[in-house]
Structure 1
Amino acid sequence: MQQMLADINSEVGYTRHLIGKASLDQRLMDAMAQVPRDEFVPDEMKKLAFDNGPLPIGHGQTISQPYIVALMTDLLVPEPDQSVLEVGTGSGYQTAVLSLLYHKVYSMELIPELSKSASQRLARLGYTNIQPCCGNGYQGWPEHAPYHGILVTAAAPYIPEALREQLAPGGRLVIPVGSFRMSQQLLLVTKDAQGHTHTRDILSVAFVPLVDQSPAAFDE
């Protein structure tokens, strides 16, 4: 765990000219230190759980590199009285980190098997402020909107309009955007008090694709 945290700090140093800061928020780093990453990877991957790299979790999905988890969370600027929407629960690792920084976490996962196993894992580990669902992240979760933060853990070819709409004034959306794994940018979208959104490129990333199962997606 300590080596993982040191690796995150090293990555921040390497990319400080891109991300615009030389260190991440201490509350975020404390949360990273509290979440046992080895509980969120397959048994055969546990020996690699604290390496600073992504790992497969089945169903063609991955658990993100610890540095990227930390950076994306830090970009949200979480506050303990706020709510956040996560699109892409995966194994639940990012969800657990968010749960230590937000009052309420709403987390969506398209793959039913991953949604079920992550929900069971998070409950077993004692994370009680998370509400999961199985659904299409391109549509967001309007029932609980607006959200102070929205974090997307897979790459979309564009920023879904539903996610822009469900972001609260003053809120932040962090999303990787790009059609190919080698041409993706991590974006930070902020919404001002008038409801206008502003987008900033952060750095190049490589994520699995965000799948859209809406009827319109199949018509294209």
Structure 2
Amino acid sequence: MMEYIKGMLSELESDYLVVESGGIGYRLFCGNPFSYQHLLHQEVKVFVHLYVREDVMMLYGFLTKGERELFRKLLDVSGIGPKGALSVISAAPPEQIISAIQKEDVSFLTKFPGIGKKTAQRIILEMKDKLKNMPFSNGIEPIKTENQYPISSVPLLDEAVEALLALGYTQGEVDRVILHLREEDKAYSSIDEVLKRALKELARG
């Protein structure tokens, strides 16, 4: 089965990217397509997972093997499908997610979109013993404290996007500023701080 696709990054959309290889454009669904913005029209290497269920066949793309492995382990958790697994790995670095699971940090996991308390508990129960051989299992990065989370956290990004669109900014303007904030990857304690930073960036034009 396919391990990765190497080719030209030809297109970016809100939930997928297109990599052209051998005259074929592969649609790869991923959590943060715009993290590839700086590589548009350049050669990229994307690790893939082929998801097949009855009449559904979809390719999912990942920056690293570690992300893909974590995605696959999340798929093994009862009640979690590709969309849910993708939202989890898109919300924080794999090291932090694994750390949260190993420390049974339910409050951290429930910050992810679509993950309630029961689902978080099920993730911990079904995954904790399966993470020992993951590349991040030793020397993993500690979870941020004092309610500080990186801007790449999906909940913060989702709230910021909705708020900016409600203020009348166009989707293009919002995408540009969110990409800029994601690249900065600073820690914020509230959505208000994120919006202040975003508005300041938008004011620059």
TM-score by length of 2: 0.37
More strand by share: 1
TM-score when normalising by structure 1: 0.36
Return the structure number with greater helix share. 2
